[in-house]
Structure 1
Amino acid sequence: MNKFNILVTGVSGIIGYGIVKSLKSSKYNCNIIGIDIYDDAVGQFWCDVFEKGVMASSERFPTFLYDTIIKYNIDLVIPCIEPELEVLMRHKKLYDKLDVKLVLNNEEVYPHLHNKAKTYDFLNGKIEQIPTLIGRTDFDYDYVAAKLGVPFILKKNISYASQGVVTINDQKDFDYWKYRYSDGYICQKKIQGDNEYTISVFGTQNGDYANMIVFWRKLGNGITVKAKCINADDDMIDYVNQLCNLIKPIGPTNIQLIKDGSKYLLLEVNARVSASTSIRTKFGVNEAEMCIEYFLLNKVPQKCKQKRGSAIRYLKDVIQYDSDNF
């Protein structure tokens, strides 16, 4: 069996080291090269090789990645940090010169999914969504409150891991946050209840996908801290099918839904691997393995045998001693 050189970015984060561990448990022989801006990134302990990287916002990042791909003869790059994904999208032609595959989603739709206001506009009238108003600096609190009710949610247009999401209870809250997020925000009706779902599909173009896996979830610090792997009901499947026909995902795609009464409504789409990827692997859906099959072997991933059950995340220590001499 061929040995694949896989580059994983952002291995200090839960997505990055989740992908590394998923690669380690896959059926493929992988040489894993991890990069991160922190030289003490915890993910390096599970990589075969580690390189300290540069910030995605740096003008050096595209060439740093280019040189790293050449240095280690990389076959596949799996970006795990949103800013790095954006850079790869913008500079894709640079890497087209190399014999390397990039795990990138639908380039035509990604700009719409990267921005919450653009997501709402792109899908408006095509699929049912949470009642939403696209924010302006001159928005009046009474107008928004009358349209959406109180409390309502205010979200920064571009944010990650549930950062930039606040609950508005009164005029004072609204005035503070709308000016803090004056570069772009949306307001949405607050849906009550313990009814959020994170869904992964592996897009295979043209609206088709493989291996949908569904978790009911509880959030903490922007990530799933408790999850229950469940079967999707017909309404959820219909909603996901409608959405995928619109966004035509390619590769790992995370869909977050909330249930309002009997209806499923979209919270957001992450056109990338999400923080629950390591949990999915333990329930039988290894997204990293599917990336190898789809992007390197040109195969549609086979149907995975999924398990059912619950997951709880907890803190764990990784210790590196200065010396073995005590």
Structure 2
Amino acid sequence: MEAKTVLVTGIGGNVGQGILRNIISLNLNLKLIGVDIASFTPGNHLCNKTYQVPYSFHESYIPTISKIIEDEKVDVVLPSTDYEVFYLSKNKNILKAQIVASDSNTAKTYLDKFATYTYLSKNNIPFAKSWLSGDYDFSEKDIIAKPREGRGSRGILINPENPNDLPEGYMIQPLSKGNEITTAVYVSKKNELHGLFTMERKLTNGTTTESRVIFEYDDRLRLIAQKMIDLGGLIGSFNIQSIVTDTNEIVPFEINCRISGTNSIRHNLGFQDVKYAIQEYLLEEEPDKPNPIEGISTRILMDVIYPNTSDFNKLKNSKHLIF
């Protein structure tokens, strides 16, 4: 295969690093370009070349990305953060590479958890009941307050004393008791539900640290995912985070319109959504059929060491060892 170039964003985070490891495992003739807001990240060693870029909302972000795409002759861009999905998708028409991202209007909706609730409820798709903080009616015994926009567990408050007085930008949801599950979904170029994959998980600081594959909710989750796809705008991977209550009700409470952080785990358990994107958008092939299997996972800390150097800003892709 003629050498091709893939750009992965957000390589300082676990999502971007998982995407890079998945691509490397495919053993294709590819050049990997990584970008991040930091000049040096733990993901640098996985790339052939890296660049520091502004935050995606900054006016210079798109011109910077556009220049990298042109200079490096990038074929495909895989964004790993929610905001980059939105801004890259919004500017697809001026970027000279394929951007594997949902439509910008759809991405914008799912960036905002309250807008997500409004949108899905209007279309009879289940999602956790939500209120803007100033509108909360005190109808629930236990509540969770969270920023409308945000990621991980940042800013979350359990049973705040004065929910109506929270800062602007907060919203309220019932504090559902039960098991948290995460469901990855891949939408093919044909706008079809190519497959889904669900795990129970434990989180530490918003990141999955332990997980177990489960199949018992697939039929119901497939109906939810299909209704979302039927609304249009979803492209490639997206993720549904849900609580399964004590009464066995599935309550989605957040939608991530991107490849999720467990991509490297599920890649080894039969659901390879990063590979499907490479097959469809880079190789112009039909994506492999998903074949999920049972499995559990845990994550460990490892070291990337750069001997005989003392300046982080000059490391780039220097010789390194992993221990």
Q: Which TM-score applies when normalising by structure 2?
A: 0.88
CA distance in 1, matches of 2:148, 2:275: 32
Deviations 1:246-274 (A, max 9, x none): 35521011111111212111111111111
- What does residue 186 of structure 1 align with? 171
Moved more, 42-51 or 106-115: 106-115
Deviations 1:98-153 (A, max 9, x none): 2x1011113342222111111111111412222222333xx4xxx632x122x201
Is the contact between residue 204 and residue 249 of structure 1 (CA under 8 Å) also seen in structure 2?
no
Is 2:275 aligned against 1:282?
no
CA distance in 1, matches of 2:83, 2:6: 19
Could you say if the C-alpha distance between residues 84 and 241 of structure 1 is closer, same or farther in structure 2, counting changes exceeding 3 Å? closer
Q: Match for 1:275: what amino acid?
A: G
CA distance in 1, matches of 2:115, 2:46: 38
CA distance in 2, matches of 1:18, 1:189: 32
Q: How does 1:265-280 map to 2 (within 5 A)?
A: 265-280=251-266
Q: Where does the alignment leave 5 or more consecutive residues of structure 1 unmatched? A: none
- What does residue 182 of structure 2 align with? 198
CA distance in 2, matches of 1:245, 1:40: 41
- What does residue 131 of structure 1 align with? 129
- What does residue 295 of structure 1 align with? 281
CA distance in 2, matches of 1:72, 1:275: 26
Is the contact between residue 200 and residue 254 of structure 1 (CA under 8 Å) also seen in structure 2?
yes
Secondary structure class of the residue paired with 1:109: helix
Secondary structure class of the residue paired with 2:89: helix
Offset of residue 191 of structure 1: 0.7
- What does residue 315 of structure 2 align with? none
Offset of residue 300 of structure 1: 4.0
Q: How does 1:107-146 map to 2 (within 5 A)?
A: 107-125=104-122, 126-136=124-134, 139=135, 144-145=137-138
CA distance in 2, matches of 1:300, 1:249: 18
CA distance in 2, matches of 1:312, 1:87: 33
Is the contact between residue 202 and residue 251 of structure 1 (CA under 8 Å) also seen in structure 2?
yes
Could you say if the C-alpha distance between residues 239 and 83 of structure 1 is closer, same or farther in structure 2, counting changes exceeding 3 Å? closer
Is the contact between residue 153 and residue 190 of structure 1 (CA under 8 Å) also seen in structure 2?
yes
Offset of residue 205 of structure 1: 5.9
CA distance in 1, matches of 2:137, 2:208: 30
Could you say if the C-alpha distance between residues 300 and 264 of structure 1 is closer, same or farther in structure 2, counting changes exceeding 3 Å? farther
Is 2:314 aligned against 1:314?
no
Is 2:154 aligned against 1:163?
yes
Offset of residue 92 of structure 1: 2.3
Is the contact between residue 62 and residue 91 of structure 2 (CA under 8 Å) also seen in structure 1?
yes
Secondary structure class of the residue paired with 1:63: helix
Is 2:220 aligned against 1:228?
no
- What does residue 46 of structure 1 align with? 46
Moved more, 196-205 or 297-306: 297-306
Q: Match for 2:239: what amino acid?
A: N
Could you say if the C-alpha distance between residues 308 and 47 of structure 1 is closer, same or farther in structure 2, counting changes exceeding 3 Å? same
**Root mean square deviation of aligned Cα:** 2.1
- What does residue 75 of structure 2 align with? 75
Q: How does 1:211-226 map to 2 (within 5 A)?
A: 211-226=195-210
- What does residue 14 of structure 2 align with? 14
Secondary structure class of the residue paired with 2:276: helix
Secondary structure class of the residue paired with 1:86: helix
Deviations 1:146-185 (A, max 9, x none): x122x201121111123232212533xx366x12xx1x23
Q: Where does the alignment leave 5 or more consecutive residues of structure 2 unmatched? A: 310-318
CA distance in 1, matches of 2:287, 2:64: 31
Q: How does 1:24-35 map to 2 (within 5 A)?
A: 24-35=24-35
Offset of residue 318 of structure 1: 1.4
Aligned residues: 307
Deviations 1:254-300 (A, max 9, x none): 11111121211111111111111111112132222211122234444
Is the contact between residue 224 and residue 275 of structure 1 (CA under 8 Å) also seen in structure 2?
yes
Identity of aligned residues (%): 25
- What does residue 236 of structure 2 align with? 251
Q: Match for 1:187: what amino acid?
A: I
Is 2:23 aligned against 1:23?
yes
- What does residue 61 of structure 1 align with? 61
CA distance in 1, matches of 2:61, 2:106: 24
Secondary structure class of the residue paired with 2:114: helix
Moved more, 212-221 or 85-94: 85-94
Is the contact between residue 28 and residue 289 of structure 1 (CA under 8 Å) also seen in structure 2?
no
